[in-house]
Amino acid sequence: MTALKEKWRLPDNLRHGKQNRPPARMRKKTTQQRSRPFRQGLILGVCIGMTGALLVGVVSFLLTTPRTAAPVAEAPAEQNHGAAADPQAAISIVSEHLGDLQVRIEAKVSSPTSYDPITKGQVVAYTDMVAMPTAHKQGPIVMAEMSGRPGVYEAMTNVPMAGEYNVIVEVKMPMASTANQRLEVGTVTAK
């Protein structure tokens, strides 16, 4: 019976109101020992998760079938041959900023083979701000043939704000063609 009493008896330090606290250097070891399994579990969990993600990626890579890119749409063969046979007009653009957001566009249009000036053509111009495409696009601006200068067409326009503009000149008839030029429009005056 005495063995049973000793089994159920409280230790002396707890019986007299004292708590059983280890010394300070022992307490540090116990807190480190308690956090050590947590760190090991965390590292093990991260490793298992990364390995699982890698396995899913490898399996999905091996099981998916590669697809070829869709072919680029081409125009019918009849239109390609017809467009290649039509010569395009040669266009030389001179554009300048006149001041106060006003721009003068001059285009010299000539035949591609003989460089003879093309007169009585339908020529239009477009202006589009480079920094904000299609936000400040203007056109079609009809260009008129200058008197005394055959094949030279001119137009005046005002752009909405200062900045760099793309000036596009398009000949619609008799030979379809387009040409581009960049123009810097300042705030007050021209060059």
Residue 139 phi/psi, 5-degree rounding, is: 140, 170
36 within some domain: yes
Together in a domain, 49 and 124: no
Of 91, 88, 115, residue with least CA distance to 176: 88
Together in a domain, 102 and 178: yes
1 within some domain: no
Taking residues 86-99, report their average pLDDT.
82
pTM of the model: 0.52
Residue 63 phi/psi, 5-degree rounding, is: -90, -20
Please name the residue that has the structure tokens 């554009």: 95
Q: Decide: 14 and 20 in contact? Cβ < 8 Å.
A: yes
Number of domains in the chain: 2
Q: Which residue has the higher pLDDT, 72 or 18?
A: 72
Together in a domain, 144 and 94: yes
79 within some domain: no
25 within some domain: yes
Please name the residue that has the structure tokens 């495409």: 133
SS3 of 63, please? helix
Together in a domain, 91 and 177: yes
Together in a domain, 162 and 112: yes
Together in a domain, 107 and 180: yes
For residue range 148-175, what is the model confidence (pLDDT) as tens digits? 888 899 999 988 888 888 898 998 888 8
Sheet containing 102-110: which strands, arranged edge to edge?
A: 90-99, 102-110, 152-158, 138-145, 122-129, 163-173, 177-185
Range of the domain at 41: 19-58
**Residue 119: CATH number of its domain:** 2.60.40.10
In our burial notation (b when 16+ CB lie closer than 10 A, e otherwise), range 40-51 reads eeeeeeeeeeee
